[in-house]
Amino acid sequence: MLSPNAVQPPARRRSDRDAASGEADGRTIRIDEAEGRGTRIEAPAASGAPRPLELHDPRLFINRELSWLAFNERVLAEARDGALPVLERLKFLSIVSSNLDEFFMVRVAGLEQQIHGGVAETAADGMLPGEQLGAIGTRVHAMVAELDRVWLEQLAPALEAARLALPGPAAWTAEQRAAARTHFTTRVFPALTPLAIDPGHPFPHLRNKSLNIAVSLRPQGGRRKTTGRGNALAVVQVPGVLGRLVRLPPAGDDGPQARLCFTLLEELIAAHVGDLFPGYSVKHTAAFRVTRNWDLMVDDEDSEDLLSAVQEELRRRDRGAAVRLELAAGAPADLEEALRRALHLEPSAVYRVGAPLQLGDLNALGDADPRPELRAEPLVPALPAALRGAETVAEAFAKRDLLLHHPYESFDPVVRFVEEAADDPDVLAIKQTLYRTSGDSPFVRALSRAAENGKQVTAIVEIKARFDEANNIAWARRLEESGVHVVYGVLGLKTHCKVALVVRREGNGIRRYVHLGTGNYNPVTARQYTDLSLFTAREEFAEDVSLLFNMLTGYSEPPHWKRLAVAPLDLQDTVLALIAREAQRARAGEPARIAAKMNSLADPAVIRALYAASSAGVEIDLVVRGICCLRPGIPGISERIRVTSVVDRFLEHSRVLAFGAGERAEVFVASADWMPRNFQRRIEVMFPILDPELRARILDQVLGLALRDNVKARRLQVDGTDGPGDPTQPPLRSQAALIDSARQPAPALRIEPAPRPPPALPRAGAPGAS
């Protein structure tokens, strides 16, 4: 039976690195790791020969958290791009805000837990938890200040120019003021609950990310004071069940070009909050928001019932410790102090915000105004020619592999593949992994219908998928009620791979059809993320996938894979062997190259292997959207490594790996990033692309376009900062090129299976893998 790989690299304790320096290739490298900036390369000192940098040296690694913040800064740069439609810019600004929510709920909360637990170990970059929190605070406070500036100086005026107005109470006309009063009295006031704060009324527990209004009150006239001080403090929770945007009449002077006017619900409440406190006058009001530790703490091995353990933890999670207070920029200092003390937060955990809190709610402006010029032009995904003439999806790839590139090509064939199998009387069994799916999932409906039709149906539902735990538990119960055999994953591991298997009776035997992907079985995100889908009926793939499901659902020893590499069993070893093979080729004077695209690169073993390959002469191009702990451009260490990040309309999500130069290039697609969690704590799958034309398509359209992008791409510098793409080349925006291609679809690139299968994946220790 599969068990988690608990082997972890030994932690390295940080040494004094305030003026850290080392040498590589005759030059001195100075790096200010605490800020993630300031790297410079100097000439060596006159005395003595330079000492080569050792590959475990912390200065060779960028801190994981600071690298993620750099990614969020790239998203913020999109909100500054005046060439984008205003609602598209608003979308990016709201993504910055929601990204920070998750960052504090998980990453910052985790660092604080390490400090409270007395953990003094370091990661590969050598920073202690306290040092990381200090650097994060500096970086995030600057990011929030820039977010405010973009909102106040750019986006709010741009919305106003587009006739989408958000006037505050001070700017309301008489007609708007009357409408606001009516709306408050009839629709809002009955749902509000004033919460006094005094010795008899302790500070209330506020839900994670809920909007609230702090109210400072002064007793009127000769009324008896409720506290020993002149002022009273109260909190009013903004009801989440009410719409955040409240429509107001247009201003009287707008004429025929009337603006759409809205006010924020918290501003409407604050303007009338005195109604909740008769006998008191309102001194100050300030909107605020609390972010809490939101990570699950489930011990699989000590839990007799994993489902019940996760449900109990979900109930507990909302009472997690506060890790951040967002407070309206104009709030008085005494109000901030009272809130901070009540939440047991340090001053550095308070973030003054000038923009509206919870910016994602403002995306509803797009629902109120359908004008196409305010948003990006809709993309209608293409349907490959191979699918247009096929009666079923399985028929389209029965004799040849089929590759889809989402969202440029439709995700509908993936849905149809499972739906058609559910209704096909010759289908005997369906097996599928579900990590995240949509609200009204067509996959859940199809699997339920298949079970009701008497088929053998198995669903591997990951109930520990972060922030989707409750949804997945609900889907699991619905599937079980329909007769689906539901498995909640493997002890100690998350099932993150995206795999579906259909077993069909054909003639006197059976045939298996497989879908493998990089993205979730979610039709909604499939229109927002870039991902790859491979459909294949190759027997070697089918055998591996069948063995994978048997391993996940029963007791079986890990098999010898014919085509797959599976984490936590052999995926990392396979990647390391492929990197080492290219290094060996370079040392032998042969052409050697590595190109890879992923979301994040943080695994120290893989990074050290890439450094060794670069030192051996391998040319390495990486497309890493988010976290990248590798430091490119260090002479003698990583000077042959180039790192590109593309942030554009669609979230880059596909993972593609290519090893070898020219005709020798082998191409793989994977569900996993190069991170310790993917290699060691998740069920992941990497698989080869065997059709030469499909390999060529991936090398050109997925890797090649991203590497040539010089409009939306940024190049990672040795000091951890981002630089522009190559300005000497003609402008190329990779996603725009793929959108143009989707609007003029060509026939699907497919070929017959090769007469002789290519060699299997190299394994660690195998000949040629060094």
- Helix (H) or strand (E) run with residue 256 in it: none
Asked if 90 and 151 touch (Cβ cutoff 8 Å), the reply is: no
Please count the helices (runs of H) and the strands (runs of E) in the chain: 22, 30
Asked if 496 and 684 touch (Cβ cutoff 8 Å), the reply is: yes
Q: Is 119 helix (H, G, I), strand (E, B) or coil?
A: coil
The catalytic position among 284, 405, 496, 515 is: 496
Which of these, 40, 37, 103, lies nearest to 75 by C-alpha position?
103
**Burial class for 728, CB neighbours closer than 10 Å (0-12, 13-18, 19+):** exposed
Six-digit token string for 82: 């005046």
- Helix (H) or strand (E) run with residue 215 in it: strand 211-219
Q: Give 434's strand partners.
A: 461
Determine the longest span between alpha carbons in the chain, in angstroms.
Answer: 96
Phi and psi for 332 in degrees, rounded to 5?
A: -65, 155
Q: Is 265 helix (H, G, I), strand (E, B) or coil?
A: helix
How far apart CA 464 and CA 306 sit, in angstroms, is 10
Torsion, Cα 496 58 629 65, to 10 degrees, reads 80
* Segments of 331-400 assigned E as strands: 350-353
Provide Rg for the chain, Cα atoms: 28
Q: Is 496 a catalytic residue?
A: yes
- Helix (H) or strand (E) run with residue 261 in it: strand 260-264
Q: Is 115 helix (H, G, I), strand (E, B) or coil?
A: helix
Helix axis angle, 64-80 to 86-102, nearest 10°: 160
Asked if 657 and 596 touch (Cβ cutoff 8 Å), the reply is: yes
Degrees to nearest 5, angle at CA 240 with 239 and 241: 90
- Taking the mean position of all CA atoms in its chain, how far away is CA 69? 12
Which of these, 581, 764, 749, lies nearest to 666 by C-alpha position?
581
Length of the chain: 770
Asked if 466 and 295 touch (Cβ cutoff 8 Å), the reply is: yes
Backbone CA torsion sign across 81, 87, 91, 97: positive
How far apart CA 89 and CA 148 sit, in angstroms, is 14
Q: Give 212's strand partners.
A: 237, 288
Buried/exposed code over 696-712 (b: 16+ C-beta within 10 A; e: otherwise): ebbbebbbbbbbbbbbb
**Does the bond joining 407 to the residue before it have cis omega, within 30 degrees of 0?**
yes
* Cα atoms found within 13 Å of the Cα of residue 597, Cβ hemisphere only: 25
DSSP state of 674: B
Q: Give 714's strand partners.
A: 645, 724
Active site residues: 496
